[in-house]
Structure 1
């Protein structure tokens, strides 16, 4: 992820650049329509064997809204936009799948949508990002515990993808690279977000930003403690002086990051958050760190909300977010997905009446003091 030239015409999702799939075999057929979600360069609107337990990395408990009287069923609509930004190479990837039951010819798991979205920010090359982008949903869907134990299944899928990247590197060392990963599933009334790295997911709940992920930076106190407990160190904000993220998939070629079992300072275990959606939840923004370098979570929600109120088009909204990030001089590749939970645009919010506040100017205060003095005389 280096360079300073914007634009480019390379096919970021080209199959020729993908690493071989070490999991290929009778039970691992070629991807179906998920491959169509490979990242294009800017210029295209997109509408649209056991799990190892690692101590000290908890699954975040469920987040629920205050008002749950009505059983809200979301209607998902999504859009995405990517741009190479002020970089020479494009290493971001994404996937949008509004209905994975259709993609995989499965029976509907119940009321509501069955959707999958993900953003992947590669480093040291785009091979890891492309690989995880193309295979993560398949790993989730083929787990017999899905969707009953969805948090466990997603975590297992992250670790399986990480192991597959290790095997790919042994086949071809030129494929060595790493990627952060953030995946969001909407199954019925529930939103589940899994994150390993510094991508971010934010829900707009009646205009208020609700963060559904944490940025895994080495300087974060919790991450620093975990890194040091596993034999690593943080130098000048970098993990082992090399990476500016504390969790990622791949990077097996980097000495001191992971051992043969995948344990070590660089963790591939995602943090998982689960939320029951309510009628107050309006949309979800998923973006790579190039977006969040120049947007605060609430700022992004405010910006997207205004745009959706204007045209109610999540794809156009994504392009406007990226364009604004470029205006704000984001120096990274840019990838963003917006998922709306309703067919209607976000409603206008009634502002509370401001309390009347009166103040007196210095000149008025002087006149009042003069008047009071005259009364005393």
Structure 2
């Protein structure tokens, strides 16, 4: 999502919908990209023409930013769209941790085959359950990025809530675009209200869509070309629920004999097959920037046919109204994982500033020593320290970095 500085990027070549390559971490600086974008063979529909003609003249005359002249406007968009057009409703995909479901079914089967316990047995069992009650400790930290010249305005937001004795909520938002800070702040406040009110029966899809619609109607800021990720984690007594749009990520770390990582979210990237098909069906194109020789450079992005906007490097988000009109979705995916007593150690939730150069396993190994000391603050600081060092090795700039670390302690 963060574009390296000192590069004048001008897309060329025909737009295609093929899956693009990963960004080369050590690309040479100061290359010139020839602006040769050819018109798409597919004609823009009358509806699409009407959509883009409704964009304000001021935005319509702007071109993709010259990064040498305006380094703070990287990945900012250049036009507007029909903000009243609502994408079609789609069902959320619910992913269940099948291994734990099988274990639960086996336990239920075993319970049914056992004889009925007397009151003394039930009292002993209740006492044991009380002793095994999990204690949750957590810490969050956010650091503004660096654009190659000065410190940026931090567009990330985080939220940590203890809703009652057994329910917690954790959220990370990563804003982008000219108004990214306002968008992520707006979404944070809306999620805070909804989580406090509806956490017991939290409808991820309805609430995400409601927030998106409210954003379209507000007048405090524009979100035609600005938006945010949102990854919401509900920690309940028996399970973990994660709903997300965008590429802010959450992982759960377990330990049986060795450390293992369970992905609670999967980054929403435009080149993923299901995401790409939806975008193409709504008139969008998935492609990257291209070098003068035609080689792709950078992450896959979402474009309007025959146009140089919006260039969004994710396939789902809140806001981004122009991108939403060509297939970018506000509907979250949902994953539910049953907790395993004493094996579930900790969760790390963070913006893509962490994950750009550090993988899941690396983060798990960084945090584990701090888990053994029950030091979530130290773990957060270590994650951000290592992420910053990785950015400095590979880029002239640094993205905003936000981390939330959640520890589970048993038998306390």
Query: What is the TM-score of this pair, normalised by structure 1?
Result: 0.66
Cα pair distance change 1:295/1:193, threshold 3 Å:
same
- 1:262-319 C-alpha deviation (Å, 9 max, x unpaired): xx5111111100111112111100010010001111111111112322x321122101
Structure 2 residues not aligned, in runs of 5+: 6-86, 108-127, 289-299, 304-308, 393-397
Higher relative contact order (CA 8 A, sep 6+): 2
Return the offset for 1:344.
8.1
What residue in structure 1 maps to residue 246 of structure 2? 197
What residue in structure 2 maps to residue 358 of structure 1? none
Structure 1 residues not aligned, in runs of 5+: 5-51, 102-107, 346-377
Equivalent-residue separation in structure 1 for 2:134 and 2:205 (angstroms): 25
1:142 is paired with a residue whose SS is helix
Cα pair distance change 1:3/1:100, threshold 3 Å:
farther
Cα pair distance change 1:192/1:221, threshold 3 Å:
same
**Among 391, 394, 398, the residue aligned to 1:329:** 391
Please list, as runs of the form range in 1=range in 2, the aligned pairs for 1:220-369 lying within 5 A after superposition: 220-236=272-288, 237-240=300-303, 242-252=311-321, 254=322, 257-259=323-325, 264-279=326-341, 280-309=343-372, 311-329=373-391, 331-342=398-409
Equivalent-residue separation in structure 2 for 1:59 and 1:184 (angstroms): 14
What residue in structure 2 maps to residue 161 of structure 1? 211
Cα pair distance change 1:243/1:147, threshold 3 Å:
same
What residue in structure 2 maps to residue 184 of structure 1? 233
What residue in structure 2 maps to residue 134 of structure 1? 189
2:270 is paired with a residue whose SS is coil
Aligned residues, how many? 272
Equivalent-residue separation in structure 1 for 2:277 and 2:4 (angstroms): 33
Q: Is the 8 A contact 1:79 1:338 kept in 2?
A: yes
Return the offset for 1:185.
0.5
Return the offset for 1:61.
3.1
What residue in structure 2 maps to residue 95 of structure 1? 159
Return the offset for 1:73.
4.4
- 1:152-194 C-alpha deviation (Å, 9 max, x unpaired): x1221111111111111xx244566210000100121111001
2:284 is paired with a residue whose SS is coil
Equivalent-residue separation in structure 2 for 1:172 and 1:142 (angstroms): 25
Give yes or no for the alignment of 1:77 onto 2:137: yes
Query: What is the TM-score of this pair, normalised by structure 2?
Result: 0.61
